[in-house]
Amino acid sequence: MNYKKRFALELHIARSHKHMSQRVLAMEIGTTQSEVCNWERANIFPNLFTILALQRILNADFLTNIVAAYDQKMEEEEKNKAEHGVKRDFVILKR
């Protein structure tokens, strides 16, 4: 299970244990209900500040572990790019 799906599942479980709707959780964080819905569907991954707010509101320590796994995956991708030599994303125009 990848980190987005795991995060979505854990978020849904923590929210239901608190008997909190998506709308109420969104109001507590200061975001929209559609964003919370997208997090639970694993469409998008929230930023670090939102994750910390979720952890505080839901009293859930699992989020820290998921973020650590996400950071580790990103470091591995960067390492692979450095080892295999990635082409640049931009083109230098000659005059």
**Closest of 23, 22, 80 to residue 14, by C-alpha:** 22
pTM of the model: 0.61
- The answer to whether position 75 is within a domain reads yes
- The answer to whether position 77 is within a domain reads yes
At 60, which CATH number?
1.10.260.40
Alpha-carbon distance of 58 to 43, in angstroms, equals 21
- The answer to whether position 51 is within a domain reads yes
For 11-44, how does the pLDDT look when each residue is reduced to its tens digit (9 = 90+)?
Answer: 888 888 888 899 998 998 899 999 999 988 988 8
- The answer to whether position 26 is within a domain reads yes
- The answer to whether position 66 is within a domain reads yes
- The answer to whether position 10 is within a domain reads yes
- Total number of domains constituting the chain: 1
Q: What is the pLDDT of residue 34?
A: 94
For 43-68, how does the pLDDT look when each residue is reduced to its tens digit (9 = 90+)?
Answer: 888 887 888 888 888 876 666 666 67
